[in-house]
């Protein structure tokens, strides 16, 4: 009898632990499945998990402190930017994302680091010149869509640069991967494997704009 009671208690404890670790909607506390929607807090840029019902309440809503994150992914194959233009953006690494912040009415630029997302002060003239040559950027939805840039392969001449219109939560997911897996000065094999997997997945989701993908 004691053994049966101990076994039942162990099962209940495991169930309670699994329930505590399950992701929940941060609006109504409903347990959410993998691939659930996200909301972004406009003022803080913080990403919140949401169930379908709560996310729908904020779908396309203006004037709210939350906005539903877009799911659109577009690979911009004919993106126009010179090395000089990239350097003028003052991003210290070859990976970054850019989105329009509604509260500040400006383009915010962030790059991933082992410590998390780091904001870089963006020279407005440099960004305006890039937008002029890439009209697709005019269609970025404020706060919820970003231009995600990966020029790491170009720097080593091993892979072409990649440019995406991506959901802002995907950009922060990339930041989280780097923060979790980065080791030492170079990052280590595990970190770069996770980064490669992230962009493989993003490519699989992306619509293509501007012609064929060139290797």
pLDDT tens digits, 162-175: 999 999 999 999 99
Specify if 52 maps to a domain: yes
Domain that holds residue 87: 74-209
Q: How many CB atoms lie within 10 A of CB 107?
A: 20
Same domain flag for 58 and 87:
no
- Cβ(85)–Cβ(129) under 8 Å? yes
125 and 188: one domain? Answer: yes
Residue ending a domain, among 68, 93, 117, is 68
Q: Tell me how far apart the alpha carbons of residues 163 and 166 are, in angstroms, rounded to a whole number.
A: 9
User: Do residues 91 and 26 both lie within one domain?
Assistant: no
| Of 68, 92, 117, the domain-final residue | 68
Tell me, yes or no, whether 167 and 150 share the same domain: yes
Do residue 129 and residue 187 come from a single domain?
yes
CA distance 97 to 117: 10
What DSSP letter does each residue of 152-197 carry, written as one string? HHHHHTSS--EEEEEEHHHHHHHHHHHHHH-BTTTBHHHHHHHHHH
Strands 74-76 and 207-209, by their bridges, are parallel
Distance CA 68, CA 47 (A): 10
The encoded tokens of residue 33 equal: 């499945």
Shared domain for 9 and 40, answered yes or no, is yes
Whether residues 37 and 81 fall in one domain: no
Last residue of a domain, one of 50, 68, 86: 68
What local confidence, expressed as pLDDT, does residue 94 receive? 95
Mean per-residue pLDDT over the chain, rounded = 87
Looking at the domain assignment, is residue 146 inside a domain?
A: yes
The reply to whether 215 falls in a domain is: no
Same domain, 162 and 179: yes
* pLDDT (mean) for 168-184: 96
**Given this model, what pLDDT does residue 21 score?**
62
> 54 or 4: whose pLDDT is higher?
54
Residue 137 has pLDDT above 90, yes or no: yes
Is the residue at 169 inside a domain? yes
Residue 110 lies in a domain: yes
pLDDT at site 92: 92
Band of the pLDDT at 214, cuts 50, 70, 90? Answer: very low
- The answer to whether residue 214 is domain-embedded is no
Based on the fold, state whether residues 34 and 97 are members of the same structural domain: no
Rg, the chain, Cα only: 20
Question: Cα angle at 13 between 12 and 14, to 5 degrees?
Answer: 90
pLDDT at 25 over 70: yes
The answer to whether residues 22 and 96 belong to one domain is no
In a domain, 97, yes or no: yes
**Would you list the DSSP string of the chain?**
-HHHHHHHHHHHHHHHHHHHHS-B-TTT--B--TT--EEEETTT--EEE--HHHHHHTTT-SSSSEEEPP---EEETT----HHHHHHTT-SSSEEEEEEETTTTEEEEEEEETTEEEEEPPPHHHHHHHHHH-GGGGGPPTTTEEEEEE-HHHHHTSS--EEEEEEHHHHHHHHHHHHHH-BTTTBHHHHHHHHHHHHHHHHHH-EEESS----
User: Tokens standing for 34?
Assistant: 């993998």
Is 158 contained in some domain? yes
**Based on the domain organization, do 181 and 83 belong to the same domain?**
yes
Contact 146, 171 (CB under 8 A): yes
Please tell me the total count of domains within the chain: 2
Query: With pLDDT > 70 as the criterion, what percentage of the chain qualifies?
Result: 85
Q: Are residues 57 and 92 in the same domain?
A: no
């Amino acid at each position: 009898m004691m053994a049966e009671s101990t076994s039942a208690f162990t099962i209940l404890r495991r169930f309670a632990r699994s329930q505590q670790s399950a992701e929940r909607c941060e609006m109504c506390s409903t347990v959410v499945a993998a691939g659930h929607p996200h909301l972004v807090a406009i003022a803080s840029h913080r990403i919140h998990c949401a169930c379908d019902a709560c996310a729908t309440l904020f779908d396309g809503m203006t004037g709210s402190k939350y906005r539903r994150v877009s799911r659109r992914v577009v690979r911009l194959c004919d993106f126009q930017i010179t090395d000089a233009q990239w350097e003028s953006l003052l991003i210290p690494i070859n990976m970054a994302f850019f989105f329009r912040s509604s509260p500040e009415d400006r383009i915010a630029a962030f790059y991933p680091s082992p410590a998390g997302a780091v904001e870089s002060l963006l020279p407005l003239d440099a960004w305006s010149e890039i937008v002029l040559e890439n009209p697709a950027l005019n269609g970025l939805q404020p706060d919820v869509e970003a231009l995600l840039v990966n020029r790491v392969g170009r720097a080593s001449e091993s892979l072409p640069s990649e440019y995406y219109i991506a959901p802002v939560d995907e950009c922060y997911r990339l930041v989280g991967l780097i923060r979790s897996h980065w080791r030492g000065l170079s990052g280590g094999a595990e970190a770069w494997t996770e980064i490669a997997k992230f962009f493989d997945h993003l490519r699989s989701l992306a619509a293509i704009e501007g012609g064929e993908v060139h290797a």
